[in-house]
Amino acid sequence: MLSSYRVSPGGRINGRRRVPGDKSISHRSVMLGAIAGGVTRVTGFLEGADAISTMNVFRALGVVIEGPTDGAVTVHGVGLRGLRAPAEPLDCGNAGTAMRLLMGLLAGQRFGSTLVGDESLSRRPMRRVAEPLALMGARIETVDGKPPVVLQPVPELNGIEYRMPVASAQVKSALLLAGLYAHGRTVIEEPAPTRDHTERMLTAFGVRLERQGRRVAIDGGQLLRAVTRIDVPADISSAAFFLVAATIAPGSNLVLEHVGMNPTRTGVIDILLRMGADIVAENRREVGGEPVADLRVRSAPLTGIPIGPDLVPLAIDEFPVLFVAAACAQGRTVVTGAEELRVKESDRIAVMADGLRALGVTATPTPDGMVIEGRADQAHVFDGGSVESHGDHRIAMAFTVAGLRARGSIEIRDTRNVATSFPGFVQAAQAAGIGIEEVSLP
């Protein structure tokens, strides 16, 4: 039996809510806390399966971590050279961020380790990290570029200058972490700006980085000093489902509290505003080096727009739900330069196009994006029907939102992985006004 959702049509979104903690920041809080000297106390930690996988990996590396208890986690740092050889392969579960950042962190250790993941992670490309790490002197084996990843011990890594071929925060972060263990300076240049949580948090831990345009440099051997407190903001990638939900459901008025507003993450808001959404950031503040705001969103009519490569990395995880927004818009939306979507937890171009078409939307996948014909002029944008999430959390949540503008109920198959990034999603969606129930399907 497959855990699945059934979403009844219609509804409106109201109230105030805080979605769970930011996944990217939660992973990094444990990683940096672990290799720092001293104790780091984290609040607002994402108690989702992905961040828990990272916690368990560091426990296996000899780090004492308390929690999570109501989002509170205490990491007893062991220092840059304090990690211990693990007895068994390290299980990253569904978490690409965990595996790729760990490759960087573990490549320069004096002990070997093996990183494994679930079925989806085992299909994802790791060469993008393994190759530059090999240039630094790491000894890494993969199976045709895919996990499991075997890291052999090396005496030391060497700093390199590396121009990344893909705009990937995970690759950049892995190289920064490896750079800590390298002799000399590591310089990384990214083709387009990507999320900079690693840079911000390393700085908070007392590491000196030099940033110049799209280049960032780190000198090896720097010691991290524990940050006594990290307050993780709500994840804008989880908030995005409710931003779109309240926008497309007539009569909605919702406030999302304490949302992380790092400018390398807010592409989803820029795109929705360009499409005509009514989103206002209130009470802007800064928490632990990350900007935060409360977002008020009211329903609004949307217009289809072109979304080009410049906007893609800043909204990379939000495309599944942006495709749903595009289906509700007036006119055509054309997404280009988004080929990275094909190597996420699922092939998000193929899987979203299949699902949208199953619900009656004209959606044409392209090698690097999608063309969607908006159906704003129809009483119901989506037909009822059944869609496959392919075990991808963000696909499952995106089609849940589609239910608000559907003619009949939508069945979403295989939703177990929603818990990787958004524990309590069903309850949060129900409380906000979505008619969602959990069902078991053959």
Q: Which residues bind ligand S3P (CB under 6 A)?
A: 24, 97, 168-170, 173, 195, 316-317, 340
The distance in angstroms from the start CA to the end CA of the chain is 5
Q: How far is the CB of 405 from ligand S3P (least distance, A)?
A: 26
Distance, CA of 338 to CA of 308 (rounded, Å)? 8
Q: How buried is residue 367: exposed, middle or buried, by Cβ count under 10 Å (0-12/13-18/19+)?
A: exposed
Q: Does the annotation mark 317 as catalytic?
A: yes
Q: How far is the CB of 373 from ligand S3P (least distance, A)?
A: 27
Q: How far is the CB of 261 from ligand S3P (least distance, A)?
A: 16
Q: How far is the CB of 186 from ligand S3P (least distance, A)?
A: 17
Closer to ligand S3P by Cβ: residue 270 or 340: 340
Which alpha helices (DSSP H) does 136-224 contain, by range? 169-180, 197-204
> Could you tell me if 112 and 84 are in contact, meaning their C-beta atoms sit under 8 angstroms apart?
no
Q: How far is the CB of 164 from ligand S3P (least distance, A)?
A: 10
Closer to ligand S3P by Cβ: residue 195 or 200: 195
Question: Which tokens belong to 359?
Answer: 């619900």
- Percentages helix, strand, coil for the chain (3-state, rounded to 5) are 35, 30, 35
Which alpha helices (DSSP H) does 142-266 contain, by range? 169-180, 197-204, 236-248
Distance, CA of 152 to CA of 82 (rounded, Å)? 17
Closer to ligand S3P by Cβ: residue 340 or 354: 340
107: number of CA atoms within 13 Å, CB side? 33
Q: How far is the CB of 386 from ligand S3P (least distance, A)?
A: 27
Distance of CA 404 to the CA centre of its chain: 24
Produce one character per residue of 46-75: b if its CB has 16 or more CB atoms within 10 Å, e if not. Answer: bbbbbbbbbbbbbebbebebebbeebebeb
Distance, CA of 183 to CA of 147 (rounded, Å)? 27
Q: How far is the CB of 219 from ligand S3P (least distance, A)?
A: 22
Give 116's strand partners: 91
| Annotated active-site residue in 317, 354, 392, 414 | 317
Could you tell me which of 129, 157, 263, 127 has the C-alpha nearest to residue 218? 157
Q: Which residue has the tokens 């069945």?
A: 411
Q: Which residues are identified as catalytic? A: 317
